[in-house]
Structure 1
Amino acid sequence: MKPFVLITGASSGIGLDSARLLIEQGYRVIGTVRREEDGERARAILGAAFLPLRLDVSDSAGLPQAVRQVEQWVGTEGLAALVNNAGIASPSGPLLLQPLEEIRGMFEVNLFGLLAVTQAFLPLLGARHGSARPGRVINIGSVSGRVATPLTGCYAATKHALEAVSDALRVELGIYGIAVVIIEPGPIRTPIWSKAQPDTRYLDSDYAGAMQALFGLLAHNGAKGAPVATVSRVVLKAIEAPRPKPRYPLNPMWYLAALLPTRLLDRLLAKRMALPRRPAR
């Protein structure tokens, strides 16, 4: 048997498929789930090599018990990798109107929860003196970490912040030999799109037309996104490559945004989201 890998948000989508692929390759996977029934369902799909771990990444009070449970499972072997996959993409809306408590809530899951989990499990990845086999931290980011689409600015902000955290950790954890990788997919066909419906309260605002456009974009992403295996294969590569890349962009928009002038990109995004452009003074 190959080593243990911990995946957050393993009950569906990228997390579940990554667990499937890793188990097929001989790994033992510990996957976080928020509900007991989700863990039972995932274990029925994946078999005995999958160990469900009840944990909400935004619940810092539950972390110490989760760490103790993982320590019992892995013993002195530790973890080969931590795959930070858990995250949310909803609610959406214009930043002008979106309540700050919603924005804080998304940061609690997508950034602060991720960082808390990483801090808690880094000792099991080799972040301590005398560790013989350092593991890897793999963060599931997004093309939104490079391009902020209007009306999903809150989500993009969490993914932009994840880029900065990943860059800093990559250098800081170099003293232990721990590699830090960020994977940046575009739209993937996962259940996250059915959970990320725009809030209808904005339909009577000046952003009504843009919100309708966002409804259509979310539906398109849910139906036409890339297969989830697109990400799972890169997760495996990031774990097994002798020298993994710092980042793996998986969508052409990531490269396009790096090349286009900012104002041209702004105009293209505004047109895509049916946002009228009034000349600035």
Structure 2
Amino acid sequence: MSKPVALVTGGSSGIGEATARALLAKGFAVYAVARRVERMSALESEGVHVFAMDVTDDASMVAGIERIITEQGRIDVLVNNAGYGSYGAVEDVPIDEARRQFEVNVFGLARLVQLVTPHMRSRRSGRIINISSIGGKFYEPFGAWYHATKFAVEGFSDSLRMELRPFGIQVVLIEPGPIRTEWNEIARDSLLERSGDGAYADWARKAHGVMERFDEPSRASSPEEVADKIVKAALAKRPAARYPVGRGARVITTSRDLLPDRVFDEVVSRTYGTR
């Protein structure tokens, strides 16, 4: 049999880079894509196929899927990992930036699903692994737009799982907690850029400090830990619908399920100093 084929988006750093390596080690023919293709030279030297793809550019996505099908004849696993967090008070975040976050985190993910599904359906097999977040289960101040995208990914994936099951295509959600990647720095810096002055300044600076602490090794997990969970989801005969992963991820998601809104609000408010 030929090698199974995996496509990993957001492959230039963090979880995507670690996932490409982990799948390669398990015998997959791996394609890693990102806008910053120059940052994937190490992966290419290790045997990963790399090329540029922008998940906000339809032509880029169409061409990328066509390339893989031409070269390999199939795509067995799609890992929708591309995404970012842009923080700030809702009134401070320009609506164009809010739209861009949805374009990257939701609509780019969904478009790739549309593009790979016919190929998977024709073979009556395939696995779509969508990287969500514990942020798709709970909420925090100044992350409204980001959390909205991840709540959307959760609902989208649950519905998609039902639609594609009759065709032998399985849909899995990965829900990372705090992970040591550049995501946190980008998110918290955008918070200060947008809300570090003005009406929300005091609370925004407190929230920035909280987010900084989540980079500490005792509070955050490595991208490799997430990659291992993705590989498990890719190889399991009957994968779970969702996999929380990382320090505190299961505790947080379980707490959100069990605690009343008023109590959970109080916990979050105390954590971020917005009482």
Q: TM-score range by the shorter chain?
A: over 0.9
Secondary structure of 2:221's aligned partner: coil
Deviations 1:41-89 (A, max 9, x none): 3313xx12x10021011111222211221112212xx122100000011
The residue type paired with residue 152 of structure 1 is: G
Shift of 1:253: 0.5
Equivalent residue number for residue 218 of structure 1 = 211
Equivalent residue number for residue 103 of structure 2 = 108
CA distance in 1 between counterparts of 2:62 and 2:227 reads: 28
Q: Which one of the candidate residues 62, 76, 81 is aligned to 1:80? A: 76
Q: RMSD in angstroms over aligned alpha carbons?
A: 1.5
Equivalent residue number for residue 199 of structure 1 = 192
Secondary structure of 1:204's aligned partner: coil
Whether the 8 Å CA contact 1:148–1:157 is kept in 2: the answer is no
Percent identity for Structure 1 against Structure 2: 36
Q: How does 1:137-152 map to 2 (within 5 A)?
A: 137-152=128-143
1:171 equivalent in alignment to 2:162: yes
1:37 equivalent in alignment to 2:28: no
TM-score normalised by the chain length of structure 2: 0.92
Q: Which one of the candidate residues 57, 61, 81 is aligned to 2:55? A: 57
Secondary structure of 2:60's aligned partner: helix
Unaligned runs of 5+ in 2: none
The residue type paired with residue 84 of structure 1 is: N
Equivalent residue number for residue 10 of structure 2 = 9
Shift of 1:273: 1.4
The residue type paired with residue 15 of structure 1 is: G
Equivalent residue number for residue 121 of structure 2 = 127
- Displacement over 3 Å in runs of 4+: none
CA distance in 1 between counterparts of 2:274 and 2:9 reads: 36
Q: Which one of the candidate residues 94, 98, 122 is aligned to 1:99? A: 94
CA distance in 1 between counterparts of 2:182 and 2:195 reads: 23
Alignment size in residue pairs: 266
179-188 or 209-218, which deviates more: 209-218
Unaligned runs of 5+ in 1: 277-281
Q: 1:144 to 1:34 in 2, by over 3 A?
A: same
Shift of 1:218: 2.3
Whether the 8 Å CA contact 2:78–2:127 is kept in 1: the answer is yes
